[in-house]
Amino acid sequence: MVDGSKKLAREKLAVAASPLRSAIATSLVLRPATAAELAAELDVPVEKVRYHLNRMRSAGLVDLCGKRRNGRVTENVYAADPRSFLIEAADAADLPSSQVAYVNARALKLMFREATAAMRAGTFAQRPETATIRFPLPLDEQGWLQAVELHRDLVEKIFEARDSSLRRMEKSGEKPILASAFVLFFERVTGDPRG
Amino acid sequence: MDNRGRLRTLLGSPLDPLRIAVMTSLTLRPATATELADELGSPVERVRYQLKQLRQAGLVGIRGQVERRGAVEHIYIAKSRQGIYTRNDLLEFPNWKQQKYGLSFLRVIFNEALEAARGGAFEGHDDYSVVRVPLRLDREGFDEISAIFESALRRLLDIREECLARMEETGEEPTSATSILLLFET
């Protein structure tokens, strides 16, 4: 069991740190797809996609959710739940902290790239309901615990809203909005870390 | 100065990360120019220059004076809720400027997060959040998540007020943290 959880932790970090794996995970979180569809969308060889899909599947990050006929060929359809990719306390405990920090830095860079691309494309701020909040917080111990809980809660609420939306769209067939939500919370570090 | 002028002061060119850093520090607690210079690792003249700009823009005020090392120094403080940047602030500018300030803003906030990563904020514990959720939503879903963020912001404001009140009594030194919440169409 210890080996299994370590493998899962490593695989989660591998997804966060790799642009290609991150792109595969993002695609599948957005909607189920076959390896061929992913390969076409991401413009990479299908063998490469299959390799990463298999790894993510055996770690439990990606599920087989059905099959699709494509002419004579029957293809697997894969799906992913965003909850699977959350890096939990248990995961962090299993791996060197410097590795976790490195992966978070990579994930932040990917996020920055995505936000900047949306800003340049003009889609970032076009909806009035867009949220862009950056808020400095002076916290005592009690406040810190409350803030940590608030952010965890916030992420869970986003997942629930996503689930509801998917269910509605299955029935309504409404044209979807593609969006991204970032929830960042961290202790502020400035100047010389050596103090 | 109006909102537009204030935002221009903060994000306009040349964009100086020190200006944002000074602003952020003062939002967290009042400080003198010397204290800020020590905290941010910057020459005090540069800090004083930024304080002057921020005062002129009405973002920073003076709360009092203190004698330190034989000299009298002003204690600076951020004016009320400045320090929270929302999309509505950006809307006051023409489109092309929105993008320019928007990009500056993104650069500033992600640099802050990366600096925290380099400084060890993500090591040895799990009291942080670095979460990205790719979304495919209907209109109602987008509105719903937007409302969730609004509600989180209000709660964060409450938490901050409560912390400041408690720390005023106990004299406890605050831990500085940052919350960044983004929801956007890709």
Rounded to two decimals, the pTM is: 0.84
Across chain A, the runs of DSSP E, i.e. the strands, are 63-70, 73-79, 131-139, 177-187
Q: Is A186–B121 a contact, with Cβ atoms under 8 angstroms apart? A: yes
Task: Name residue, tokens 């290609």.
Answer: A20
Q: What is the mean pLDDT of each run of 10 residues along chain B (186 residues)?
A: 68 72 82 92 93 88 88 86 62 77 85 88 82 94 93 90 89 89 93
Q: Which of A87, A105, A116 sits opposite B106 (nearest CB)?
A: A116
State residue A1's pLDDT score. 46
pLDDT tens digit string along A127-168? 877 777 788 888 999 999 999 999 999 999 999 999 999 999
Q: Please answer whether residues B37 and B47 qualify as being in contact, where contact means their C-beta atoms are separated by less than 8 angstroms.
A: yes
Task: Name residue, tokens 């959710």.
Answer: A65
Chain B, 166 to 185: residues with Cβ < 8 Å from chain A are 166-167, 170, 172, 174-185
Helix axes B17-28 and B33-40, enclosed angle (nearest 10): 120
A108 touching B (Cβ < 8 Å): yes
| A76: alpha, beta or left? (left if phi > 0; alpha if psi -120 to 50) | beta
Chain A, 35 to 74: residues with Cβ < 8 Å from chain B are none
Complex confidence, ipTM? 0.89
Q: What are the beta bridge partners of residue B175? A: A139
